[in-house]
Structure 1
C-alpha cells in the first residue's frame, strides 16, 4: 500500500477510515493530490471521479441521502470548493452528512497573486455545522528558521527537539479538528468542511505511515426520552378535538406500522402527507393542495387544528403553509432530531427525538381517543376531490398534467423515484404514489441545480432501479451530471420539455410578451437528443398521449444503456389547465 508522504494527508485519510467514511468523490486537481493518493491507494475506500465539482458534490449528496451516512467530496484549491456550495447549502437544510475535504495552499501563498488561490478559511460560513481549518505540517528545512527565530536554541539537538515539539502540537490539533468535524457530520446529520493546506512537493509517496493518531471514541447518537416533556404534551393531546399531523420529508420506513395504524384509528386526527413523506395509510391525506386549494373561509375555520404536530423535513405545499399561518393552531409541536423550523410562526415545543421513538414513547400513554368528527368530515371531502380529479383528467388534452398522470402510473414498483424541483415536484404532489416507491427531491433549498446529479448519486449508492422525473430547465442546467462513468444501466430519466420555465406562467404578471418569454419563462428550443448521443443514453421521444403510452410500455425494460425519455408538451396551455383544475375540483 502507498501513502502520501505528507503527514497531514495521512492524518485526514486515516481518520476518515477510523470513522468508517467509505465513499469518496474526487474531482481532479493538483493541490489535492496528497488526498487523492491516500484514498485511491487504500482498498477500504470506494472512490469516484467526477470532473465538474458542482455535479460531484450533488452526486455525493445523493449517495449520503440514501446511505444515511457521511460521504466525502475532495477537491483542489481555489474556486473548486465554491462550486460545492449549492450542494453544501442543500445538505445543510436537508440535514444530509456531506463532508467537504478541500486542499489549500500554505498561508504565505495566499493573497500574493498565486493561481488557484482564494481565502478558503470558513468559506461556507453558516451553511456548515463545523469548519475545521487544519494547520500546515512543518518541514525539516524549517529547522533553520526555528533556530533563527529563537537564538537561545543553538545545538542541533535542541533545534530538532523544538521542531518535533511544534510538529506534535500541530498533529494533535489537526487530529482533534478532523475527529470533531467527522463526529459532527454523523451525529448531527449535516455538512462539515475540513480544509487542508499542503506544501509542495505534492506527489511523493511512502510505504509506511509516519503518523499514529491517538484512538478516538466514535460516538453514536442515542435518543433520550424526556418523561416530563411527554407528559406535558399528553394533556394537550387529550383535550384537543382536532389534531393535525403534518409530515414533511421523511426517509421510507421511518415509522413502524403499528404506530401509523394507531394514529389512523383516532377520529380526532388527520394526517397530511406529501410525496416526499414516504408515509402511507388508506386514512391519511396525500395531495394536500387538492384538498385545501378550493376551501373558503368557513372551511378553513373547520379545518383549523387545535393541536399541530409536525414530523420530518421541509414542506413542499405553499398552500398548507399559507393556511396554517393564517389559521394558526392553538399549539404547534415539532418532532425531529434536527432543527425545528417555526414555519407557521407559532411553534411552542421542539421534541428532539426521531418520530418513531417519540410515538413509541407517547402513544402507549394515550388513555383514550377523543370523540370527534374531524377525520370523517375530511375523508368525505377527500373522496369528492379524488372523483373530481378523475373527471377532470377525462376532459383535458395532452399537457404537463396528463403527462405526470401517465408517467407516475408507469414507475416500477419497488423502485426509487427522484423528482426535480419547481413544477416537477408540484405536479407530482397531485397524484397518488404507491407505497413501494420511495420518493426524494432536493427540498432543502428547493433549487433546480444538481437534481440530476443527486438522482444519479442516489442510484449508485442504493444499486436500485431509479427513475428521475424532471422539467427541461432543471435537466439542461445540470447536464454535466451525465458526464459520469457510474450511471447504472437501469437508470431512467424522464424530461418533461415545455420549452421553458412553464411554472412562471402560473404566477401573476403579464404573459405572452417578449420580456416575459425571455427573462421569466426563458423560452428555448433545446432537445436532450444530442446529450444522449454524447453520453451514451438510449434516447426516446413522445409528443402526444399515444406516443407516450407506447414509449412507457417498454421504457423500463432491461437495456445495455441507461435511457432518457423526452416528452414535449405544449408550452402555452399548461398553466391554464393547472389553474382550471383547482377551479374544477372545488
Structure 2
C-alpha cells in the first residue's frame, strides 16, 4: 500500500471517531485496502462473513439493536449487488448502514476487465445517498475531499432519516501494503448536531382544540423502537383522557396497551359492533402495522380526522383517511400533549366511556374464546405460537419471521412476557435474511434473542449460520410445515390445482443437519405435549446456540386456522 492510499486508511479513523464500532467484511482482493484499514484499527470490531447477502443482514441486525451505523465492506463486481435485499430492508426500516464497495478505476468500467460492472448508484432510490471517493489523492484538495465525503456519508446515514448510504471506492493497484506501512492517521472530522422538530404554540392550540371536541380517539402504534418515555406518556394519556391505544406486535409498546387481541376480533362480520369502534380522531405513528383486519376496518369505516406523526419523509396514508401530517416525533408529541391535558384536566365524558367500553367488551369476549379454542385445538402453528410466546424469558429479545409467523403472533398477542423487545423485517416483509438479521441482533446484546421463523425462511437463509460468530444467546425456533403453508390459507391460492408443487412447494428437509454442521444444540417437537416439555430446557441450556424444529401437518394447520377465523367472524 503506497502513500496515495492514505485517504483510504483515514476511513477507519473517521468511522471510529464518529461512534461507529462494528464492521462486517466480506473477503475480496480489490477491497483489501479498505479491509485492512478497518482490521488494523484498534477500536473497531470487525467480523468476516463470506456470503455478502447474509453479511448485509447481519449488519442490519446489529444496527437495528445498537441504533448506530454499521459498516459493510465488499469487493467489486456482483458482490455489492448481493447487499441489495438488506439495503432495501434497511431503507424502509430506517436503519443506518454504511456500505463500502470496492471498485475498479473509472477508466476500466465497461472495458471487458474482470469482476467489473458499473457500480454507481447501484441501489437506486433505496439508498439515502450515493458517494464516490476520488480514485487518486495526490493533491491535498483530493485528500480533503475524501475525508469530507466520509464524514458527510456517516452524517447522512443517521439524519434526517436513518438509512443505508453507499460509498463506492475506486482503487488502483497495488492493493496490499508494505510491511512497514504506518496505519496511524489524523483526518479531518466534520461533526453534526441534529435538530428536533418542535411544534409552535399555535399548533398546540389547534391540536388541543381538536382533541377537546373529539370523543372517540384511537391511537395506533406501528413498528417502533423501544421507548420508555413513550410507554409512560401513552399509559398516562389513557388514564387521564379520552383515548385508546392499539399496539402493533412490533411496536414495543405492549406495556402501555389496554386493548389486546384486536387483530383477532376485528375479523368479526358484525358490522353494527364494528361501527361502535370507529374513531372520530385517529392518530398514527411508527412503521407498518401487521394486522390486515385493522387496515381493512379503518379503510372501510373511515375516521373523521386522521393525524400522522412523523419527523420526515413521504406522506403516509395507510388507512386512506389522512387529514394532517404532524412533523414531530411520537415521544415529543405525547409528552407535550400529556402536559396540556394534565393542565386543562378536561372531562372524559360519557361518549368516550361508551367508546372505550365497546373496545374492551370486544376484548373481554375474545380472550376466553380464543384461549378455550386453543386449549382444545390439535397441534398446530397457532397453538404452538401461543406456547412459545408464553415461555419467552423476561427481558429478552424476539425476532419474528415474515409470512405467517408474524401474523400468528399478532393474532395471539404479546400479553404475558415482561420487558420483551420485538423486531421483524417488516420494512419490505421478505423472508430472505431473517436468520442473518437475528444473528446480528444476538451479537449486539447479551440478552436471550429468540428467532421464530418458517421452514422456507430458514432454509433460504441457512448461510446465516455460516460464520464463526454465532453467540450462545441465540435461539432459533423453526415452524416446519414442509412447504409454504401460508398459501394453504390464502383465499386466492388455497383452491388452485397447482398449489402443492408450484406455490406451497412441498419438501422433506430437516434442520437437524444444519444444527450439527454449525455446532448448535438441536431439539425436535411434533406435538403440543413435546413442545411444552422441551421449551424450558431449550431456553435454560446456555452453553451454545440452539435450534428447535417444530413439525406440523399442513392440512391440520389450515383446518384449525379456518375454524379460528370462523369463530372470530361470529363474535357479537
Shorter chain as denominator, the TM-score bin is over 0.9
Aligned positions of 1:141-156 closer than 5 A: none
CA distance in 2, matches of 1:209, 1:26: 18
Counterpart in the other structure of 2:279: 305
Counterpart in the other structure of 1:69: 68
CA distance in 1, matches of 2:135, 2:226: 43
Q: Return closer, same or farther for 1:130/1:406 CA change in 2, 3 Å cut-off.
A: same
Shift of 1:431: 2.2
Counterpart in the other structure of 2:167: 194
Out of 432, 440, 444, which is 1:457 matched to? Answer: 440
Counterpart in the other structure of 1:358: 333
Out of 200, 209, 215, which is 1:241 matched to? Answer: 215
CA deviation profile, 1:339-385 (whole Å, cap 9, x unmatched): 35221223232223221211122221132144122112211110110
Shift of 1:250: 1.4
CA distance in 2, matches of 1:217, 1:430: 45
In 1, are the aligned partners of 2:40 and 2:183 still within 8 Å (CA)? no
Aligned positions of 1:478-489 closer than 5 A: 478-489=461-472
Q: Return closer, same or farther for 1:85/1:580 CA change in 2, 3 Å cut-off.
A: same
Cα root mean square deviation, aligned: 2.0
Counterpart in the other structure of 2:428: 445
CA distance in 2, matches of 1:495, 1:536: 17
Q: Return closer, same or farther for 1:298/1:497 CA change in 2, 3 Å cut-off.
A: same
Bigger-Rg structure (1/2): 1
Aligned positions of 1:282-321 closer than 5 A: 284-321=258-295
Shift of 1:330: 1.6
Counterpart in the other structure of 2:37: 38
Q: Return closer, same or farther for 1:514/1:4 CA change in 2, 3 Å cut-off.
A: farther
CA distance in 2, matches of 1:95, 1:519: 34
Aligned pair 1:377/2:377, yes or no? no
Counterpart in the other structure of 2:23: 24
Counterpart in the other structure of 1:409: 390
Q: Report how many aligned residue pairs link the two structures.
A: 558
Give the unaligned 5+ runs of structure 1.
139-163
CA distance in 2, matches of 1:496, 1:369: 49
**With structure 1 as the length reference, what TM-score do the two structures score?**
0.91
CA distance in 2, matches of 1:419, 1:510: 24
Q: Return closer, same or farther for 1:456/1:358 CA change in 2, 3 Å cut-off.
A: same
Shift of 1:288: 2.7
CA deviation profile, 1:93-133 (whole Å, cap 9, x unmatched): 00111111111110111101112111111111110111112
Aligned pair 1:217/2:191, yes or no? yes
Counterpart in the other structure of 2:251: 277
Secondary structure of 1:567's counterpart equals: strand
CA distance in 2, matches of 1:47, 1:276: 29
Secondary structure of 2:418's counterpart equals: coil
Counterpart in the other structure of 1:155: none
Secondary structure of 2:540's counterpart equals: coil
Shift of 1:207: 3.7
Counterpart in the other structure of 1:263: 237
Shift of 1:291: 2.5
Q: Return closer, same or farther for 1:209/1:543 CA change in 2, 3 Å cut-off.
A: closer
CA distance in 2, matches of 1:122, 1:575: 44
CA deviation profile, 1:406-450 (whole Å, cap 9, x unmatched): 111111111111111111100011223223111111100000010
CA distance in 1, matches of 2:481, 2:20: 41
CA deviation profile, 1:250-300 (whole Å, cap 9, x unmatched): 122343454123222156322111221111347622333113111433233
* Greater shift in the superposed pair: 274-283 or 192-201: 274-283
CA distance in 2, matches of 1:190, 1:302: 40
**With structure 2 as the length reference, what TM-score do the two structures score?**
0.93
CA distance in 2, matches of 1:221, 1:388: 49
Shift of 1:18: 2.6
In 1, are the aligned partners of 2:310 and 2:329 still within 8 Å (CA)? yes
Q: Return closer, same or farther for 1:511/1:225 CA change in 2, 3 Å cut-off.
A: closer
In 2, are the aligned partners of 1:243 and 1:268 still within 8 Å (CA)? yes
In 1, are the aligned partners of 2:151 and 2:189 still within 8 Å (CA)? no
Shift of 1:335: 1.6
CA deviation profile, 1:73-107 (whole Å, cap 9, x unmatched): 11111111111110110011001111111111101
Out of 136, 150, 153, which is 1:181 matched to? Answer: 153
Out of 277, 280, 300, which is 1:326 matched to? Answer: 300
Shift of 1:173: 2.6
CA distance in 2, matches of 1:251, 1:528: 31
CA deviation profile, 1:441-464 (whole Å, cap 9, x unmatched): 110000001011111101101121
In 2, are the aligned partners of 1:240 and 1:307 still within 8 Å (CA)? yes
* Greater shift in the superposed pair: 203-212 or 193-202: 203-212
Secondary structure of 2:191's counterpart equals: coil
CA distance in 2, matches of 1:289, 1:266: 26
Counterpart in the other structure of 2:504: 521
Counterpart in the other structure of 2:204: 230
Secondary structure of 1:277's counterpart equals: coil
Out of 322, 337, 344, which is 2:319 matched to? Answer: 344
Secondary structure of 1:364's counterpart equals: helix
CA distance in 2, matches of 1:530, 1:283: 42
Aligned pair 1:48/2:47, yes or no? yes
Aligned pair 1:538/2:538, yes or no? no
Aligned positions of 1:22-171 closer than 5 A: 22-137=21-136, 167-171=139-143
In 2, are the aligned partners of 1:264 and 1:283 still within 8 Å (CA)? no
Secondary structure of 1:127's counterpart equals: coil
